[in-house]
Amino acid sequence: MTLPPRTAALPMYDLQPEAVQAWWRGLAAALRREGVPEVPEVLTWPDDLEAHWLQPRLLLSQACGHPLVTRLWDAVQVVGAMRYAAPGCEGIRYSSLLVARDGHAGGLAALAGRVAAVNDPGSYSGCIALRRAVASVGGDQRFFGRTTFTGSHRASLAAVRQGAADVAAIDAVTHALIQRHQPALLQGLQVIGRTPLAPGLPLITALHTSAQELRALQRGLQAACRDPALAAERRALLIEGFEAVPASTWE
């Protein structure tokens, strides 16, 4: 019986797909040098992330911490996490930046009763972190007058900028990538706060990936993050390094 090809995706920071694909070409070569079998030549760009994460032939992908602990915990293996050179990041941990329109004063507490833009109800950075920020100023689930779900961090920024919402929590890496590559999306907006640090996005592989292949994936990621020939690709994506941390990091 012929098995389907192995798949790989790096879907979470996709502002510049060509830069992500260039990084993958270098990373894929490093994985092959470490003996990882059947490394895909190109990345997939899944529409259904959860179905993609659960593929039995998944070689490597990047997930979100909230679905990892709520739905994927017994269905995938954690490879580790990247370190990013972005304001609001520290080691493998990251925060969300609270963004409002220019001219807003008074911080998050002054936005009680207003409209929040949330990329996805299952997103740690856009939803769970915002909920925890609200709790830190004494609010509860009734703090906002309304929540609008936008489908992406970029769409949340657009909703705030255009007046359809008043605040959004934006993943610090996404915010820094937008500031570098698409700064017009931040015009008319200001950062009014930052959520506490939390473990960043986990890199995952299929549950049935062997222990030997898992270690080879980790070695390949570490090698690619040290390779001077890939320095430009890392800079474009703000990648600073990789750490082979366990799944318990996200508990």
pLDDT for the residue 34: 98
Average pLDDT over residues 125-149: 94
Q: What is the mean pLDDT of residues 191-217?
A: 97
Phi, then psi, of 82 in degrees rounded to 5:
-85, 155
Q: Could you tell me if residue 190 is left (phi over 0), alpha (psi between -120 and 50 degrees) or otherwise beta? A: beta
Same fold, 7-85+200-250 and 96-196: yes
Q: What is the pLDDT of residue 1?
A: 59
Predicted local confidence at residue 14, as pLDDT? 87
Strand residue runs (E) in the chain = 7-8, 58-62, 76-84, 89-90, 93-94, 96-101, 115-118, 146-149, 167-171, 189-194, 198-199, 202-206, 239-243
Give me the residue spans of the domains in the chain: 7-85+200-250, 96-196
Query: Which CATH number describes the domain made up of 7-85+200-250?
Result: 3.40.190.180
Give tens-digit pLDDT for 91-124.
999 999 999 999 999 899 999 999 999 999 999 9
Residue range 96-196, CATH number:
3.40.190.10
Average pLDDT taken over every residue of the chain: 96
Output the CA torsion 162→163→167→171 (10° steps).
Answer: -10
